[in-house]
Structure 1
Amino acid sequence: MALNVQWCCGLDVATLENLGLSLGADVPLFIRGVAAFGEGVGDQLTLASFVEKWYFVAVPPIGIETRSIFNDPELKRDSPRRSFSELMSLPFYNDCEPIVRKRFSIVEKHILWLLKYAPCRLTGTGSCVFSEFDDEASAYQLLSKIPDWMHGFVARGVQVSPLYRALW
């Protein structure tokens, strides 16, 4: 997106999304720059409206290759396909989390620590883990408690990406 502006290419968002898809799954979601529900490989987007929350994000010192999780024979593969509205009305569940927790003890360690203070979730296939808060102070309060072995940060969820706002 930035190069599109810097080099005065003049490509529209739809063209950039198609180019982004060749780079990898979910890239079109980030190019669109707004809160959305992505299906397929992140190319089928439904705009979504969320209450902007605050997040504490724990960053384990490892990377997890998405392909290795999706290729794991123990990954649950019979979860029912659900619409966006169904997903938003049900408790959150990530089919990848049990696999990641079993295979990566450091992620499990982060999850167990966070669960002492707040519910937490795995980001996709990991490796980051996050907790959601209604206010900034609560997120920073958790950040102030992290042990020496943990790295983390606080971020605000937004409806529109600051990069998108700056470039368009």
Structure 2
Amino acid sequence: MYVTEGHALSAPSADSAAVVRELRDRAEIMDALYRFGLGQDLQDKELFASSFAADAELDFRPAAAKWGGKPPLMTGRETIVTVILGMFTGRVDTTHQVANARIAVGGDTARLTALVEAQHLLTADHSTFALLKNPYDVDLVRDGDRWVIRRVRIDNTWFTGDPARIFAG
């Protein structure tokens, strides 16, 4: 499930061109996850949508199960954007921080695992909040010069606050 190789790059160190290509891919792969988080934080529909492939899948069920939530499996970029931003825009303030990212690149596909801390506060009452520490398991595909998320599975290691109230929107 998680990227656990004992090295960062797969390109041979003697092949400078391959190393540069892989480093560019890795930067673009990370950018897809950054667009995912910042798009939510800024409530920016275009930025958020740019992180996903048209046929993307977002599975928040493993995380939500930790507090009794039962969200649907979200399929398709438009559905994901509509559901997530519809739940948060004007109602919930968010911040996302990404750490411990690991990437495996294989041609035009990649796998990314990361730990994402997500802070959610009701806009009208910041004393109602949820702080989540979530492992992300992400499959990506090349989309021209950038990478986009094809599938993301979000689990939860721990939370504090009241996620049921935050995600009830």
For normalisation by structure 1, the TM-score amounts to 0.25
Higher relative CO (Cα under 8 Å, sequence separation at least 6) belongs to 1
Instruction: Report the structure, 1 or 2, having the larger helix content.
Output: 1
For normalisation by structure 2, the TM-score amounts to 0.25
Instruction: Report the structure, 1 or 2, having the larger strand content.
Output: 2
Report the structure number with the largest CA radius of gyration. 1
